Amino acid sequence: MTVLARDRYAVAIVGAGIVGLFTAYRLARAGAGPVLVVDRGFLSGGASGRNGGGVRQQWETRATVRLARESVADYRAFGREFGYNIWFRQGGYLFLADTPSELEKLRGVTEIVRAEGLPARLLDADGVDSLVEGLARGAVVGGAYLGSDGTLYPFPAVWGVYEAARSLGVEVALGVEATGVTQRDGRVTGLVTSRGSVAADRVVNAAGGWSGDFARRAGLPVPNVATRHEILATEPMKPFLDPMVVRASDGLYLSQTMRGELVGGLSLPHPPGTGGGMSTSPQFLPRMARTVTALFPALGALNVLRAWSGFYDDTPDGLPVLGEDPRLAGFVHANGFGGHGFMLAPATSRRVAAAVLGTASDLDPALFGPGRFLDPRRAAPVERLQLG
Amino acid sequence: MVEPAGPSFTFEGRRYPIPPGGTVLEALAADGLPSFQRSPRYHRPRAPLCGLGHCTGCLVRVGGRPNVRACRYSPADGDVVSTRNAWPSRRFDLLAAFDLLFPSGIDTLRGFRRPAWARGLYQAVVRRLAGFDGPPSPDAASGPVDPPTVRRADVVVVGAGRAGRAVAERLVAGGRAPLLLDRGRSAPAIPGAELLPDTTVTFLPPPGPADPPFSLLGFTEPARGLWIRAREVVVAVGSYDAALLFGSNDRPGVLTADAAFALDRPGAAPAFRAGVVFGAGPRARAVVERMGDRIEALIAPGAVPPELVRACSDAGIDLHPRSLLLAAHGRRRVRAVDICARARGPVARLPCDAVVLAHRRLPHVPILFQAGARMQWRPEPGAYFPVADSSGRTTVPGLWVAGSVAGPSTDPAADGDRVARHLLAGGPAPGAPPASLPSSPAEAPPAPPFPGEMDGYYRELLRLPRRGRWVACPCEDVLLEELEAVPQRGYRGVEVAKRYSGLGTGLCQGRYCLPDALLVLSILEGRPPADVGYITQRPPVVPTPLSALAALDPIAATDGGP
Ligand SMILES: Cc1cc2nc3c(=O)[nH]c(=O)nc-3n(C[C@H](O)[C@H](O)[C@H](O)COP(=O)(O)OP(=O)(O)OC[C@H]3O[C@@H](n4cnc5c(N)ncnc54)[C@H](O)[C@@H]3O)c2cc1C
Ligand code: FES
């Protein structure tokens, strides 16, 4: 089976999801030296192969809006850069409000997004109806919409970045588990894996829902929590739904892929941690079916093909964790993406690569840095728009 | 034309009498083999392949309800049946130009990237090509018509074929009250057992630790949800005939023996008049015995056993043992096949109007994968089977298997009876692992030697020049070349192959593409099929309407139910 090609790397990355692969690609392009990515599973076996493919720029934090906007530009250019067609369709993201107070919250979001120069709009019920066919009468009081948000196919994005990274010399070792790090004098010196130890000057924790586990194995307690999120796909049909539809009150999101399937999920109160596995719970199918048919009464006759689940990697403030850990030099975080790692990976990986290389970036450490959780005064959630 | 007097439905403006208890397909098949569907990417004409309600060959729209299986749906008086996946009409489909314009396939993975300004146009076109039909129309919204159903059962028997019926009968005789489920419409009742016809089930993790070990989610056609808790489950879902890879293997007229039997009804016009059979086992023999007068030739991947040689010569059927089936000819319907003797024999063309696939009988295992039973690859017939002892116990406590889903079976009724006797004798208490079975993969019996007959067959076939489209996944129109590209680009394992190529993601959920895909990947990756893996079976496994799922009570599902 897989044996690692070298015994010393400049950077060892844990996790071959979209975050780890994008980071590896950027590092290789910057000439960082030998880069290793290990993953204990198969390619796309984590959240990067289990998500809804939504890409949005409507956020409550201006810094996130900017990162998302940069990622949208990256994904638009993806075909040229990586040779794969990810079918990034900018059909918009429509946030539904089912009460006036929800609509008020959305107004605040729209203002922030507009302040960043993106033409987000607040809609009344008629405005929502004009964008979506077949909504139940009286289901919503209004919504927020940005037409340049959209959806993409996660898989070809993974293949494209994987192949590009490998062609730049990155070694991707599948079926290899990272079990910890070696360190000396407060500095990372290597990665311990199920295939032995290798020397590495930097270790990047891009283990997605398992990043909290890996950080703890490296002796660094972090507040990341894995939460299980379920999702389903229906049989395909001809185009019917243009935007991605999301609703804050129950975490519902629903979009129609280029293949014609409806893909969507909602939030259920699963116990935290990865113990629940990545299958379907007994509650999910009935709840999702009730929610979808209440919102779109005509869809009752539509067949569900399959359901599955994956893990969000949640943080207390809803923002990702990016950058070097102040407790251990050379240990760099690229995790805590919640349900939005796919849409943020192109832009955040640039900052993470800069952190690895020790070069400057525009990233505000107070917002995104791992050190923020070491400060007990900072606990208030910052990014509450945690869905779709 | 004479208008039918009794109950009838209309299809393309014409009225069809409803055969008593019959399906739309049976009614339309009165004129021969109906071909009313088009494939999703290339708009190739398609006809029923499976006859079992799994493929996409017989999808129709009934009123406002899309993607109804004509082979499973019993029409009601006044139903309007139509098909939509063609433009401007079913007979003359301009979209079939895609088949001619893209002889080496539409590359949705890497193609359509340039020029950037055309992206919107590409997206609009590709989006419209997706799917077989539009969304349901509002009048199709039945909603949860019936009250939600939650059941508790002592023993559930899934499958009312010979094995399942024998299990149920023996359990009744032993004083138990089994609940017997079947996807089919017409299983006869068994006194003492409750029978739910038209019902499909799938396993879910149990709602809570205190609940009986099994939680089954099901639905009864057309749209009634069902939730069952059971202490023990006997899976007796049987087996089905596999598809086959060859050129134009998706042509109308290529059908499995299951479909040939389903379409062979007294009074109906035969689906074919001059077919060829592929295979040489008991299934091929059954085809020869029942439809020998409509079979011209028998093509076998290996030797033909003496009894079958005799049966064929009695029926005047030509024999082509140790042969490769290379390609089918004909645009709207099979007109001939090319074959060649193995080890580079010359190519011969056999005129025919159908290819009946009867070479490989596969167990319906998705439900067992889903239940978490340990599975093992068997080179003959080239499929995963549950690891089970002779009493039918699987590695999951309380889960039993009986009949041909457990292994090739000569007497399913006797198997069912034996399994039920063991079950009555008292299996181990739920929770305790069966004593006679290995509790970890390391202790599992050694895998039987690899490879099997179809492995050698494909090794030889895949090296030959090809003609026509080789459709590896008919539901999604994935071509063999697209599957082969996956290992060629350095990816390994069937889970990645599925995500890379789209194979196995369609309506049949891999039943007709995975068995061959595993063999192809095993050959190209140079490791046994068991190492290539299997795709995770995700509920509900069989397409289930949202309204049926919505009818289930999620509260009952979480805290123990009524
Ligand atoms: C149901 C669902 C829907 C989602 N919808 C969206 C969406 O619409 N838009 C969006 O942007 N995001 C969405 N997300 C979130 C998004 O998928 C993730 O944020 C993103 O994929 C994270 O990428 P990653 O590379 O960090 O993690 P992953 O893709 O999970 O990769 C982490 C990898 O690390 C490996 N690993 C873990 N521990 C170890 C170890 N110790 N050693 C070796 N390998 C290890 C795992 O095997 C895994 O492959 C969704 C997520 C889910 C679950
Ligand atoms: S023939 Fe009806 S689904 Fe295959």
With a CB-CB cutoff of 8 Å, which residues 138-167 of chain A face chain B? 155-156, 159, 163, 166
Q: What is the mean pLDDT of residues B540-547?
A: 86
> In the numeric block, which tokens belong to residue A128?
């929502």
Take atom 44 of ligand 1 and give the residue whose Cα is closest: A39
* pLDDT given for residue B486 in this prediction: 97
Q: How far apart are CA B171 and CA B426, in angstroms?
A: 12
Facing residue for B141 by CB, picked from A234, A258, A301: A301
Where residue B429 falls among pLDDT bands split at 50, 70, 90?
A: very low
pLDDT value for B226? 84
Tell whether pTM > 0.90: yes
Residue A9 or B509, more confident: A9
Residue A166 to residue A23: CA distance in whole angstroms: 12
Which alpha helices (H) appear in chain A, and where do they start and end? 18-29, 62-76, 78-82, 100-115, 125-131, 154-167, 211-217, 284-295, 341-357, 365-368
| The pLDDT of residue B432 is above 50 | no
Span B8-128 CATH architecture: Roll (3.10)
CATH number corresponding to A89-150+226-314: 3.30.9.10
pLDDT for B185: 79
User: What's the whole-number mean pLDDT along residues B181-196?
Assistant: 89
Pairing of strands B80-82, B59-62: antiparallel
Regarding predicted confidence, which is higher, B540 or A102? A102
Question: What residue ranges of chain A are covered by domains with CATH 3.30.9.10?
Answer: 89-150+226-314
Q: Which CATH architecture has domain B243-359?
A: 3-Layer(bba) Sandwich (3.50)
Chain A neighbors of B130, CB-CB under 8 A: 236-239, 258-260
List of chain A residues with pLDDT < 70: 1-2, 376-381, 386-388
Look over chain B and give the mean of its residue pLDDT values, rounded to a whole number.
88
A300 touches chain B (CB under 8 A): yes
Per-residue pLDDT reduced to its tens digit, B202-247: 888 776 667 778 988 888 776 678 888 899 999 999 999 999 999 9
Contacts (Cβ under 8 Å, ≥6 apart) of B443: none
Taking Cα atoms as reference points, which of B500, B482, B481 lies closest to residue B491? B500
Distance CA B122, CA B142 (A): 36
Q: Which residues in chain B have their CB less than 8 angstroms from residue A234's CB?
A: 546
Q: What pLDDT is stored for residue A380 in this prediction?
A: 59
Distance B253 CA to ligand 2 centre (A): 13
Per-residue model confidence as pLDDT tens digits over B83-117: 877 777 777 788 888 888 888 888 889 888 888 88
Fold match between B149-240+363-430 and B243-359?
yes
The per-residue pLDDT for B555 is 56
- Helices A62-76 & A341-357 angle (0-180, nearest 10): 100
**Dihedral sign computed on CA atoms, order A367, A373, A377, A380:** positive
Residues B140, B163: contact at Cβ < 8 Å?
Answer: no
What dotted CATH number matches A8-50+155-224+316-374? 3.50.50.60
Q: Measure the CA–CA gap between B91 and A183, rounded to whole angstroms.
A: 71
Residue B441 pLDDT greater than 50, yes or no: no
Report helix, strand and coil shares of chain B as percent, to nearest 5. 25, 25, 50
In chain A, ranges of CATH 3.50.50.60 domains: 8-50+155-224+316-374
Question: What tokens does B408 get?
Answer: 């090739």
Contact between A282 and B67 using a beta-carbon 8 Å cutoff: no
Domain B149-240+363-430 belongs to what architecture?
3-Layer(bba) Sandwich (3.50)
Kindly list the protein residues whose Cβ atom lies closer than 6 A to any atom of ligand 2: B 48-51, 53-55, 57-58, 69, 71, 259
Q: Classify the complex by whether its ipTM is higher than 0.95, answering yes or no.
A: no
Assess whether the previous peptide bond of B381 is cis (omega < 30° from 0): yes
pLDDT at position B2: 54
Is-contact B494 B470, C-beta < 8 A?
Answer: no
Token pair listed for A101: 């107070």
Q: How far is the CA of B164 from the centre of ligand 1 (A)?
A: 42
Task: Tell me which of A318-332, B340-354, B421-435 is least confident.
Answer: B421-435
Q: How many helices (H) and strands (E) does chain A have?
A: 10, 18
Domain ranges of chain B: 8-128, 149-240+363-430, 243-359
How many Å apart are CA B185 and CA B290, to the nearest integer? 23
Say what angle helices B480-488 and B514-525 make with each other, to 10 degrees.
40
> CA-CA distance, A363 to A322, in Å (whole number)?
8
Beta bridge partners of B385: B376
Please check whether residue B259 is in contact with residue B49, taking contact to mean a CB–CB distance below 8 angstroms.
yes
Name the closest-CA residue to atom 35, ligand 1: A15
pLDDT tens sequence across B271-322: 999 999 999 999 999 999 999 999 999 999 999 999 999 999 999 999 999 9
Residue B262 in this model has a pLDDT that exceeds 50: yes
Pick the residue from chain A with its C-alpha nearest to B558.
A283
